Structure 1
Amino acid sequence: MGDSVGDPQYGYEPDHGTGREREAETTHSFSTALRRLRQARGLSLTDLARQTHYSKGYLSKIETGTKPATADVARICDRVLGAEGQLLALVRAGPPPAEPATAEPRPGEVCPYRGLSAFTSQDADWFFGRERATAALVERVFERVGGGPLMLVAPSGAGKSSLLDAGLVPALRRGDFPMPGSECWPVVTFTPTARPLDELLERTAKTVGGDLAVTAGQVRERPDAVLDAVRAIVGDPPVPSGGRRPPPCRLVLIVDQFEELFTLCRDAAERRAFVRVLCALAAPRPEESVHGPAVVVLGVRADFTGDCLDLPELAPVLTDGLFVLPPMSVGSCGSPSPVPRNSPG
């Protein structure tokens, strides 16, 4: 994940897990499933190494079955490949460790310690120490509605993915966002991959539970086709008896590991089209529009901001829509650094 440490360029194989995970055995079906899912996503081993931060050689040995996979490897590959737990289920745990301190939780218990893995929305109850950062991010996202995307920038390992998945997403679903009906808005979280527009459509369709019936080419020409398709599936919120019509449902797009747009997507035209679509979806709507602006949040590693500047459409985002997350430190709780805003949007 973007917040994991370990650099595949240098063959560093981080050991995120406990002794129990290090002894985990990899079944033949795991190796086959990993290779099949990777190929189905159109990723090379190099691509997978970049996204998981494990070395290409290490992943190759797992795919050939010559090296066992830890539960943490399976968990991270599950998320990167969108396998929904399939890979983790194929990893069989080895014998329990002798040390009680490293024992696995008993059935019904949950271990709150994520190690170096990013927190997800399922881990929200264990996501401590970033309350101020989460509240500040929610406020900043609210200020940007109708003003374009918001870009969350953080150095590697600062907890960017965790703040998005275990901070912002649960806050939206709890109704902490100060807009009526926001707890019911469809929230689409994804990474760009090598085909960002296709990924946007695929993940949105999965979130709303229906076929959008639009192509990447159609969205290039008319970004609002995404909003039309979502509204056709989700529908308008019901009008309470004798009450006022509630505001329209808004689409929320959270694009984590935005740097994949430069590391995985090799087509410059595709990159530009993807950014244009995101900016158009988050822009103010004409008065006659039946849609409200989408909420678009981009999570990008700090060392890729220069690449973002190469895309003219992102210049206003880096000027007016920046949210900087520093690394965690004692006493600071990782509070976001203030960023001057020329206009709240």
Structure 2
Amino acid sequence: MGMPRPERPVEGADGVAERFAVELRALRQDAGLPYRNLSARTGYSPSTLSAAAAGHRLPILDVAVAYATACGGDEQEWTAKWQAAALSAATERLDDASATADRAPYRGLTSFTTADADLYFGREDLVAELVTRATSRPVTVVLGASGVGKSSLLAAGVVPALPRDVHAVVTTPCGRLRERLAEELTGHSTCVLVVDQLEEVFTHYPAEERAALVEGLLELADRSDGRVRLLLSVRADFYGRCAEHPRLAAALRNDQVLVAPMTDEELQAAVAGPATAVGLSVERALLAAVVRDARGQAGCRCSRTQCWRPGADAGVTCSRWPASPRPAGSVVRWCRRPRPRTPSSTRPRSG
């Protein structure tokens, strides 16, 4: 068995998240634990634990304490360390002129963008897999139900996690895909072309144009000597339509990644992580309620927003969560209850 790859160095040591990561890494090094063994002790995946000590952002409390105690750290001591780090991080954000005390931790029904990477939690395992595929395979197809979070996964998870020497272009199907890529490639040795909502080729283009666009996309990966790699997302209900194009069907057969509804662990991180990132606490009762009601469902993003109000307090609470118990599917119905109409030009996309 080969030696595990060394961790990338923590970039900088001035930030709160970076200093916390350095301490976690030192504890693991002293314990002599590979991430695989640490995962067995904590119940968290190796990629989740690795991300906790990456220094990009402060991990959620449960992951941080599990990491530390599995390496021989004291639970109370590391809980206090994390609380102090979270307070320092919140203070730093309040001192930043570009930030406000009322920054929303959640995006509601709006998809995450690359600028929201510090608020994107819960899909660390999938992000790690897609980064590996996107930098080593010509074509990867991301498949999932409408509303499961494919757009957010790609924009706020995968793109910010790509190596620094890899240039990313994020777009949706349009007639200038190849021309734009040629422009973006100037000065870059490697490019990952992320084409989100590929199903639009079936809804916006006649058959001949659609075939030309799909073939043109796949040819980019074939003829670029490895310079261009494709990361395509498509709604699961268009899976059968993809079979109309043999090369796209081959990509689905060999290189597809399914985005499933979040697991309990991922749901907890998706609620607690963004709150921690903006200096808020989350009631444990809320975590339990979200996991109970959102388990196995897609499209529940705005429910978290309802549990936070700007300027109210320093917590995300159950006070605005509908009374329990609720039957399966109620979270989705509650999130999709009638809201004021938004002009179509500004209506958020469903990711």
Whose helix proportion is higher, 1 or 2?
Answer: 2
TM-score bracket relative to the smaller structure: 0.3 to 0.5
- TM-score under structure 2 length normalisation: 0.45
